[in-house]
Amino acid sequence: MKTKKALTLTKPDDWHVHLRSGEMLSKVLGDTATNFNRAIVMPNLSPPIKTTADAVLYKQEIETALIENSDFIPLMTCYLTDETDPDDLISGFKTGVFTAAKLYPAGATTNSDSGVTNVLLLDSVFSAMSDAGMPLLIHGEVVDHEIDIFDREHKFIELVLEPLRNRHPNLKIVFEHITTRSAVEYVKSGQPDKLAATITPHHLSVNRSDLFAGGVRPHLYCLPIPKKEHHRVALVEAACSGDKRFFLGTDSAPHLIEEKESACGCAGIYNSPNALQTYIAIFEQNNALDKLNSFAALNGPEFYNLQVNTEEVCFIKGANPTSFDDVCVGDSRIKAFAPPFPLFWTVR
């Protein structure tokens, strides 16, 4: 009888996830809380999490929705606006309410209309964050209809990120859900303790042609939008390299199916149910399973100055592909991510 292939990892953390609130939170939280020990929780609710008091209430809602005896730890973030109070922000960080602050350029993605209109308005906030050692998480796209949607990440580096880092060289920055070779090269040029990036399972799996394979594929639509194949390859190379500047962040973002399959479909991919299995498949395809533990469980805690998890999780490779059910929410549902290749790994 053939022995099944096994893979043991330090239990990973998710350094970028959307948990939503209300009934949707209660339906999707289990997928993240089961698969990850900690998660950086995005603050772009409606209304957003803009103050320490907001974050305290949201964390209480998450903890109330957890199943009994869950060890999952939500790490809260602040949604930056043009009016963010640096005193409240830093107080929230120093008291352990906030782990990081999130910069959404206004209008860049879902629930970002209250985001920052001009980063220069927040230089006093960034200075305070630098002094406190508080990480800044960035959705790195310019918001300009004159700039093609496929070029907005590259232009953000040139027009916003590089000037920002020159003004605040000690600011810890996570360039989130990167999608381009230029972003990979830019992150590699920075100090590992000052500049890092998260990479999602879907951006490792699909390119922009997959969005239109045989028709429009709304459940592969996300922001930043997937790019050309050579960019996807660059992301895979970065993730599989062992470079500690790159680590796991799913950017799992649930939307009801009718909000995706509509005349103006929402951006976001719900991958929490199978994110780890997708990462494993990618690393296996690239003969890099020996690098996965660093990407999934070690690099993130090192950047955030947190302890590495002590628990381990074991995956078994089966003979047949596994499937993942949609999540029912009321009379609707959330469709789980389906990468363009089979997934054979399951948790023991």
pLDDT tens digit string along 33-80? Answer: 999 999 999 999 999 999 999 999 999 999 999 998 899 999 999 999
Q: For position 1, what pLDDT does the model report?
A: 47
Catalytic residue among 251, 290, 325, 326: 251
Indicate the burial class of 145 (C-beta count within 10 angstroms; 0-12, 13-18, 19 or more). exposed
pLDDT over threshold 90, residue 262: yes
Record the tokens describing residue 99, joined without a space: 């782990």
pTM of the model: 0.97
The alpha carbon torsion through 312, 314, 315, 316 (nearest 10 deg) reads 170
What is the SS3 string spanning 219-230? HHCCCCCCCCHH
The shares of helix, strand and coil residues in the chain, as percent rounded to the nearest 5, are: 40, 20, 45
Record the tokens describing residue 314, joined without a space: 């074991």
Strands (E) located in the chain = 5-10, 14-17, 38-41, 73-79, 98-103, 136-138, 173-175, 195-199, 246-248, 312-317, 327-329, 332-334, 345-347
C-alpha to C-alpha distances, 9 to 13, 38, 314, 322, nearest whole angstrom: 11, 15, 6, 20
**pLDDT confidence band for 111 (50 / 70 / 90):** low
CA angle centred on 158, ends 153 and 161, rounded to 5°: 80
Q: For position 201, what pLDDT does the model report?
A: 98
pLDDT over threshold 60, residue 295: yes
Residue ranges and CATH numbers for the domains of the chain are 5-347 (3.20.20.140)
pLDDT in tens, 297-308: 999 999 999 999
Q: Is there a catalytic annotation at residue 326? A: no
